Structure 1
Amino acid sequence: MKNLKLFSLAALAVVFLTSCSSVRVIADYDKEANFKTYKTYAFYKTGIDKAQISDLDKKRILKAIDAEMSSRGFVKSEQPDVLVSIFTKERERVDVYNNNFGWGWGWGGFYNPWLWGPGWGGGWGGNNVSTRTEGSLYIDLIDTQNRELVWQGRGVGTLNNIKNIEKKEERIREFVSQILQEYPPAITVAAN
């Protein structure tokens, strides 16, 4: 039984650690857009100004987007093909883990209407509750000629209050990189 408890705790730790570090990504796009024609970009200041995060984090996100776009062959331009905008959302996530079980000595025991006192009882117990901030970063690409959204990527993951600036920047780069891995979309052409 001790090994089962240790296994349960180890499995819980692995699940918790992987859920904290991963970024879940969802992307959507306009299937009529010609993504091959997009070669240049600029940031959409009006949209970025509305993002409800600190100016320092905005700078970090934009710097990470610059690096990703450059690595994909995009060039920043005054006359861009696409505008890049961002926005964010966050929410508190509450996780409840029920990871202890077994038999023990305690008050009450099994229900007996004529007897109340010490007894043996068993079952599940030991709930652990944790809260964490889960955030979403949206990256939008807007076609400048049509003024329409053509691609949107969203990354959802845990945002820890990271005091170490290097780790915070690394986490932001991870978010941006994983979101932009979905761009350009893998468009499949249906056979006629």
Structure 2
Amino acid sequence: MAPTSETLTAERILEATEEVLRRHGPAKATVVDVARALGVSHGSVYRHFRTKAALREAVTKRWLDRTSEALAGIAADSGRAPEARLRDWLAALFEAKRRKAGDDPELFATYMVLTGESGTAVGEHIADLTGQLTAIVAAGVADGSFAAPDPAAAARAVFQATGRFHDPGYFREWELPGADDDFTAVTDLLLQGLRRI
């Protein structure tokens, strides 16, 4: 039986939207396609998301939040040394972005378009990630393993310095020979710098 608007949730709409985007791409996917996939009227979808742009922004945020949530556990693990947390956090970010690009290239291409048109989702995602990095650097300052006078500034610098390994614009380089060695070299250099600031 087709779902009714009473059983329709924002999460179900986002799941269906992701599938529709995968099938049709961002240029051809419509709210009507999403509604059809759910077996409801497009008005039912609009009750949850007032515009097509709001729906696309929400699905982009959901996609980006998956990465943020996976990294949050590493950042918050106060039982581990900050240096190990920072190294693991950067490696997990690189791997998450690489996996998104390699495992589902059609959906990744779709999200490249969506993040380019995103209102606030990308900025919020970057703020969340640099906030997690700030917490790790601040923990290192607190225990004496890092000597960064401004943990937030150091975290932004680390994020920018590692951009080649998480900025989607570089996704074609992520599988090149030597990418892992380059990542390790950059991470080692950054950790050395944090210890000597």
Confirm or deny a common fold (TM above 0.5): no
Structure with a larger share of its residues in strand: 1
State the TM-score, normalized to the length of structure 2.
0.24
Of structures 1 and 2, the one scoring higher in RCO (CA 8 A, sep 6+) is: 1
State the TM-score, normalized to the length of structure 1.
0.24
Whichever of the two has the greater Rg, that structure is 1
Structure with a larger share of its residues in helix: 2
